[in-house]
Amino acid sequence: MTDNRPAKHNPERPTRPRLTLRLAITLTILVLGSLPAYAQQSTPVATPMPVAAATTGEHPSLSTSTAPAASPTTVAVTGSVVVAAILIGTALNGLAILMLTTACRSLERTYRHQENLKLEVLQSQVVAQRRAEVARILADEPDGWQRVLAQLLADALPGAERHTHAIGTGGVLSLSASPAPCFTVAGAGGRTFVFTTLPDELRRVGLLKRREPVIPLDAGLHPAARIEMGLVWEHLARKRVHGRAPALARRAEWFLVGRGEGEGEGR
């Protein structure tokens, strides 16, 4: 059973966007907090006028500027503020992009999950409806199994072979549960069709040729293809063994091998 409860958030483990924001705020506080100390160090201290100059009546030259030159400390502080502003802007911009990307990915995952759930529900409904339909055909129609197999052949074989989809008058030529569940039916124009769950096992014992192509009868043809084959097997096997069909695995897969006129069942 799938646990659909939301994952618990761990407050002691901050996410990456929060860490980035905290780093930017901390850097800003450190830089701004150091400004008063740097400003105090860069402020020039007034130098008292010598006493001799005051008594002799000499005055400082008016052409000399008293404004202090920018100290290296001031330049360093200014550069630090600019660098800090750039780093903060970059961090905030990256944070916004990261949050947007995370939100988009979360939305995409939610959408895909909902669509997959819808598809699973739809397929289960199709399979259940087809199962009931095939069961009714097999129970009510004496040759209903031919009708079901003809539809599977039409789905599995290429367009060039559609004229040979009909089941021939020979009916079921053979049926066996050992060494693997397998039955062979006669087709139109002298063809035969072999249905089995373990083609490799049949090849091993020589009931299938090595180069005979094997076509899987699975959901690639129809969501209920595997279910249809299982129902047909049970229907035919009950007739062969007088009401007792060999049990198959619930997930057993079925395969088709088509043979042309004059070909045997194996070598």
pLDDT, position 257 = 93
Q: What predicted TM-score, i.e. pTM, was given to this entire model?
A: 0.57
Cβ pair 182, 175 in contact under 8 A:
yes
- pLDDT band at 134; cut points 50, 70, 90: very high
CA 24 to chain centre: 36
Cβ pair 221, 156 in contact under 8 A:
yes
CA dist 175 and 236 (Å) reads 8
* pLDDT surpassing 70 at residue 28: no
Cβ pair 138, 151 in contact under 8 A:
no
- For the chain, the structural domain boundaries read 15-41+71-140, 143-259
Q: Per-residue pLDDT tens for 139-158? A: 999 889 999 999 999 999 87
User: Average per-residue pLDDT in the chain?
Assistant: 75
Cβ pair 28, 88 in contact under 8 A:
yes
Q: Per-residue pLDDT tens for 156-203? A: 987 645 555 567 777 899 998 888 999 999 988 788 999 999 999 999
Please give the helix or strand (H or E) that residue 239 lies within, else none: helix 225-240
